[in-house]
Structure 1
Amino acid sequence: MSHDHDIELRPTEAQTRAALDPPSGRTGGDLVVETLHGLGATTVFGLPGQHALALFDAVRRSSLAYVGLRVENNAAFAADGYGRVTGEAAPLLLSTGPGALTSLSALQEAAASSSPVLAICSQVPAAGLGGGRHGYLHELRDQQGSVRDIVKSVHVVRAASQIPSAIAAAWESALSAPHGPVWVEIPQDVLAAETLLPEVNAPDALPEPLVPRPELTALAADWLAHAERPVVLAGGGVVRADAAGKLRALAEHLDLPVVTTYGGKGAFPWEHPLSGQSWMEDRHTTDFLADADVLLVVGSGLGELSSHYHSLAPRGRVIQIEADLGKLEANHRALGIHADARPALQALLETAPPREDPEAPARVAELLRKVRARLDAQDLSLERELLTTIRAALPDDSPSFWDMTILGYWAWAGFDPRGPGTMHTAQGAGGLGLAFPAALGAAVADPTRPVLAVTGDGGAMYSLAELATARQHGLPVTWLVVDDGGYGILREYLTGAYGEAVGTELSRPDFVALAESFGVPALTTTATDLGKDLAEALESGEPRVVVLRERLRMFGES
C-alpha cells in the first residue's frame, strides 16, 4: 500500500517545546478559548452563570472580545445576526438550565434560517449527570435532550481532552451546508479543573464542499436550455452560499426570469429586467411560477411562505437544488439535486448552452404591472411610501433586520435590499424579538456601518433590556419602533378570521423616555419626517431610537 499522500504529522520544534512546557494555571475553560481562537473566532456572545464561571474567566484572560447581553435569548439572536452578516460561526456562551432554555426560541430561528451559531453551554458537575440525583442548582434531567430537536448537532464533553475535538467538530458542522446552530455541552468541573494539556494549536475544521452529481446537473441544464417559459425561484441558500453572482450569470446566460423568496432577498438585483422581485403572497406571482414549463428552485425547501401557503402547484417540470437533504422534494416532486447553491449554479453555467428569450423581460414587466395594479386598488399608499422612505434613508451596504411586524411583512415582499446579505428577517421560525439584538450582533461584526432594526411596539418589549447593551458597547444601531398600540398583525389575523380581536391591545411605555433613561437618544417622528429623522439617526454613529406612531394595514389577496 502506498503512503505517498500521507500528511505531515511530526510537530515542529516550536510546537514540541510548547507542548513540553505549557503555561501553568490553565483550565478546561482555557482549552475552549484556545480552540475557538485557533478556529478563527474573534468575538463571543453570552451571559455568565454559576457553572460557566471558569469559561468566562478564561475569556477574560484571552484576546477574544466578549459581548454580554442581558437575556440569553437576545444573546443568541445577537450571535445569529453576527453569523448572518459574516458567514462565520458565532460562539455563544451559556450557562446550565435556565440560561440554556432561555436561548431556545432564538436558536430555533437560527436553525430555520440556517445561521451558524456555536452554542457552548455548561452543565452540572459530571458526577451529578443522569437524572437529578444530586439536586444541583439549575439541573435538568436531560439538558442536551432539550436542545437536540432544535440544533443541527450536539457535541457532549465529559473530559478535558475531548474539548478541542468537540468544538472543532461543532464548528465544522455549523459551517457545513446547510449552515445551522450547534450545541457543545461541558460540565462545570471539566471547565474548572486545571489541565496539563498543551496549548491548542489551530485545529482543522474546514467543511467539505457539497457538490452536485454531474449527471443531474447535465439533465437540469438540458431542461433549462430547451425550455419555453423557464423561471427561477431563488431562496436563502443562494445568499448563504455567496452565490448571487452565479445566479445572475446563469439568469443572463439563459434569459431566466428570477423571483426571490423572502429568505432569498438580495439574491438577485431588484431592478434587473429579469427580476420578478419577491411578492410571494401574491396570486399573480404564484401563477407566474406555476406557469413555468421548467421551474428551477435554488436554495429553498418550498415551505409555507415560499409556496404561498402551499398554493403553488407547478404545471411543468421542477428542478430543486437544496443543501438540506430533508427538504429535497419534501413538498413537490422534482429533479432533486442535493448540493450547495454555488457549485450547483456553477455546474449549470458551465454545462448549459446559451439561450435567448427576448420576450422574458416583457413577461416579468407584465407580472410586476399586475402586482402594482392589485396594490393600487387597495389604498395602501402609506405602507408603500414608508418602504420607499426607509430605503432612501438606509445606506446601500447597511444591514437591516426586520421583526415579525406589519411593516416587516411588507418588507419581505416589497423592500429592495440592494445586495445579498443586507436584509434579514425572523421569517424562518417566526418568533418575536429578533430584530434589535440581531442588529446589535451585526454592528459588532462591523461597527463602521450603521445598522437598522425595525420592530412593532409588541416585539420591542422583547428586547428593551438590550438598550443597555447598545449603550455599553456604543453600537451604531438605529431602532425604528412602529407603535400601533398592540400586536398589529395578530389584530388583523384575529379580526379577519373571527370578526374581533382579543389579547392584542397593549399598554406600552413611552419608548422615547425609556430609551433616554438608558442614555440612548430617541425621538418620535411622523411619516412625513421619517426620512430625515432616520437618516440623521443612521449617520450619528451611535445607538438611536426612532418611534413612529402609525396603524398600518397588510395588503390583501385581491
Structure 2
Amino acid sequence: MTTRNRTRRNGGDLVIETLQALGARTVFGIPGQHALGLFDALSRSELHYVSSRVENNAAFAADGYARATGEVGVLFLSTGPGALTSLSGLQEAYATAVPVVVVASQIPLSGLGARRKGMLHQLDDQKASAQNVTKTQFSVHHPSGIPSAIQDAWAAAITVPQGPVWVEVPQDVLLGEVMVPPVEDALAVPYDHPPRQELIDEAVRWLATSHRTAIVAGGGVRRSTGDARRQLLRVAELLDAPVVCTPGGNSAFPHDHRLSLGSWVEDRHVTDLLEDAEVLLVVGSSLGEVTSNYFTLEPRGRLIQVDAEPRVLESNFPTLGVRADAGQALAAIVAALSGTQPGAEDSVRADWHGRSAAEAVAETHRRVEARLDGQELSRERRFLADIRAAVPAEMQTYWDMTIAAYWGWNCWDAQSGEFHSAQGAGGLGYAFPAAIGGAVGLADPADLADAAEAGGPGVLAVAGDGSAMYSIAELASAQQHGANVTWLIVDDGGYGILRDYMEETFGQATATELYRPDFVALARSFGVPAEEVPVEEVGPALTRAFKRPGPAVVVVRTLLRMWAPSHLG
C-alpha cells in the first residue's frame, strides 16, 4: 500500500471502497490499458492483490478462493481480449454456483456502440459475451452508479444459486474525478428462497409413508447459505435413508456414516438402489449426466427435487419440484418430520426387502468392491488410497479433469476437508490456479504481506500432464505469492481420459498424445521445489512436499485406467 498523499478520488477509488465495505479481502486479476485506473486505486487500499498470468486462470483462482473460504471471489479484468480470456474460468464458477464478482473495464464512453472508432480492445458488445457464463451483468456509465452496481452484484452473487456476476466500467469513468463521498459502509443481503409450505407438506406426506427412501445430495447442499449439511444428516437419520453424494456434493454427507453410499454415482449397483427407492429425494442436484449414471437411472418410485435454480427442476425427470435453498428446505422437512416423529426411536424404519437401510448400504458397498476387484484396477485404487493416506484430514483438495479426478469423484473421502473439482463445466486447467486461490484465502493475512513467508494450511492440486499445460504459467504466480500449494501432476503422456474414450469407441486414439516438458526442471526454473517419483512412492513424496512452505510440485509418470462403464452392468 502506497503512503503518498492523494486528495482527488476517481471512479477506481469508488470500486475499491465499495468492495472493502462489502468485506472483500483479496482481488485476483491482470492489469490492462483500460483498467489502469482500477489498479492504481488498488494501490491505495488494504486489499491483497494476487497477480495471475492468464485471465482464465485468474477466474479459476477467484473461484478456488471462494470455495475454500466461503467468501466472494473478486476478479479484475481488462477490456476485450482480457475479458474474453476469462470466460472459460467463469463458466466453471457459473456451472458450480460459486460466488464471484467480476469488475471489467470498458473502452471510453464515447466509443461504446461506435465501431467506426476502432479503439484498442473494442468489442461490439462486451457484456453480451459474458451472458452465458454469469448470473447477471451490470454496466456503469457514471461514477455515482458504481457503489450501487457493485453492491447489487455482490447480493446477486451470494443469492442461491450463487454464481459469478459481471460489472463493467468504462475507462474514463474509472479515471474521472468524483464528487461522491468515500464509501464507508455497504450492505449486500442475499435474496431469500424459502420453500413453499404446501410443497413441503406434500413432500413430507410422501416421505413419512415411504419405507425405502434414498437421498441424492448435490452441490447445492454444500453451497447452501443455511446449515444444510447438518440438516441433511438429520433428514437421513429420521428417514433411515441411504445417501449418495454427487461429484459436486462430495463431502456433503459423512463418508463413514452407516447410511453413506459415498459418491459412487457411476456404479450400477448404486443406481439399482436409487431406482428401487419408493421415494428418491434429490437435494441440490439437477440429476444430470454423471449423477444419473449417464442418463441410465430410471427411478421406479416418486421423486422430490429440491434446488434453488428453478430451471433444473423437472429438467430430466418428472418430480415434485421444490424451488428453495437446500438448507432451508431440509430444515423445513426436519421440522415437519419431527412434528410427527418426536424422537429418534419413532423415525421411519426402512425395509429394503427384508434388510435395514444400513444393511442395504453395506451390501451395495460390497458389490461395488467386488465389481472393481474383477477389473484389475489395483494400481488405480492403491494410487488413490496412497494420496488419501498422505493428505491431512482437514486439507482441501482441487482436481482437474483427469482420470485421477474421475476416480476422486466416486471414491474420495474428503474427511474434515473439502473436495473441489472442475466437474461443473469440465474445462481443463482448473486445479492448480484454483488451488492457488484457495491457499491464499486460507493463509494468515499477516503472511500475505511477505511472499517469502508462506502460511496457513496447505492445499493439494491434482492434474494430468495435458491439463497441467493449461496452467503452467501460474507457477510464477504461486512462487510470487508464496502460495502453500502442492501440485501433483500425473503424467501419462497425453489426454488420458480422451485416449480411453477413443480406444473404447473407435479402437484407436487420435490426437491425444502430447509432447511434454520436463515438469521437474520447469518447476525448478521458477524456483519451485519439484521431484519425480514412481507411482508407488506418491505418498511419501506428497508428505515431503506438504512439509515445505510455499509451492511444490510432485510428478508421477503412470498410466491410470478407468473402470469399465458401470452403466453397462
Matched, 1:114 2:122: no
Matched residue, 2:364: 367
Local SS of the residue matching 1:277: coil
1:361-405 CA distance string (max 9 Å, x none): 000011111111110000001111111111111111111000000
Contact 1:257 1:276 (8 Å CA) reproduced: yes
Report the alpha carbon displacement of residue 23 of structure 1 after superposing the two structures with TM.
Answer: 7.3
Structure 1 residue 201: deviation in Å?
Answer: 2.4
Matched residue, 1:75: 58
Deviation at 1:222, TM superposition (A): 2.1
1 CA distance for matches of 2:138 and 2:329?
A: 30
Query: What's the offset of the Cα at 1:24?
Result: 2.4
Instruction: Establish whether residue 460 from structure 1 lines up as the match of residue 468 from structure 2.
Output: yes
Q: Aligned with 1:509: secondary structure?
A: coil
Contact 1:131–1:142, Cα closer than 8 Å, also in 2:
no
Letter of the 1:435 counterpart: A
The residue that corresponds to 1:518 in the other structure is 526
DSSP-derived class of the 1:275 partner: coil
1:87-486 equivalences under 5 Å are 87-241=70-224, 242-352=227-337, 353=341, 354-357=347-350, 359-419=356-416, 422-447=418-443, 448-486=456-494
Q: Give the distance between the partners of 1:526 and 1:265, measured in 2 at CA.
A: 29
Secondary structure at the aligned position of 1:478 is classed as strand
CA RMSD of aligned residues (A): 1.2
TM-score, normalization: structure 1?
0.95
Q: Please name the residue that 2:344 is paired with.
A: none
Gap runs ≥5 in structure 2: 342-346, 444-455
Residue type of the partner of 2:348? R
CA contact (8 A) 1:450 1:539 kept: no
Deviation at 1:208, TM superposition (A): 2.4
The residue aligned with 2:543 is 535
Per-residue deviation at 1:86?
Answer: 1.7
CA deviations 1:230-250 (Å, max 9, x no partner) are 000000000111511111111
Q: How far off is 1:539 after superposition?
A: 2.1
What is the alpha-carbon distance in structure 1 between the residues aligned to residue 412 and residue 195 of structure 2? Answer: 32
> For residue 13 of structure 1, what is the aligned residue in structure 2?
none
AA of the residue aligned to 2:523 = A
Q: Deviations for 1:211-262, whole angstroms, at most 9, x for unmatched residues? A: 1111211221221121011000000000111511111111112211101111
Equivalent position amino acid for 1:424 in 2: H
Paired residue secondary structure (1:516): helix
- Tell me the CA shift for residue 209 of structure 1: 2.3
Query: Offset at 1:542?
Result: 1.7
The residue identity in structure 2 corresponding to 1:58 is A
TM-score under structure 2 normalisation? 0.93
Q: Which amino acid in structure 1 is aligned with residue 520 of structure 2?
A: V
Measured after TM superposition, the shift of residue 351 of structure 1 is: 0.5
Q: Please give the alpha-carbon distance, in whole angstroms, between the structure 1 residues aligned to 2:102 and 2:462.
A: 26
In the alignment, the residues of structure 2 paired with residue 329 and residue 445 of structure 1 have an alpha-carbon distance, to the nearest angstrom, of 37
Q: Structure 1: which 5+ residue stretches go unaligned?
A: 1-21
Following superposition, the deviation at residue 89 of structure 1 comes to 1.4
| 1:52-109 deviation digits (Å, cap 9, x = unpaired) | 0000000011011100100000000000001112222111000000000000001011
Alignment check: 8 A CA contact 2:92 2:425 kept: yes
- Does the residue aligned with 2:425 lie in a helix, a strand or coil? coil
Q: State the secondary structure of the residue aligned to 2:214.
A: strand
**Cα deviations by residue, 1:301-321 (Å, 9 ceiling, x for unpaired):** 111111111111111010000
Distance 2:358 2:412 in 1: 21
Report the residue type matching 2:273 in the other structure.
Answer: F
- Is 2:505 the counterpart of 1:497? yes
**Equivalences, count:** 536
Distance 1:208 1:155 in 2: 18
SS at match of 2:555: strand
Listed one character per residue, the Cα deviations across residues 183-224 of structure 1 (whole Å, up to 9, x for unaligned) are 001000000001111001212211122111112112212211
Moved beyond 6 Å, runs of 4+:
none
Question: Could you report, residue by residue, the CA deviation over 1:118-156 in whole angstroms, capped at 9, with x for unpaired residues?
Answer: 110000000000042211100001101111122100011
- For 1:446, give the aligned amino acid: L
Contact 1:439–1:477 (CA under 8 A) maintained in structure 2? yes
CA distance in 2, matches of 1:143, 1:254: 50
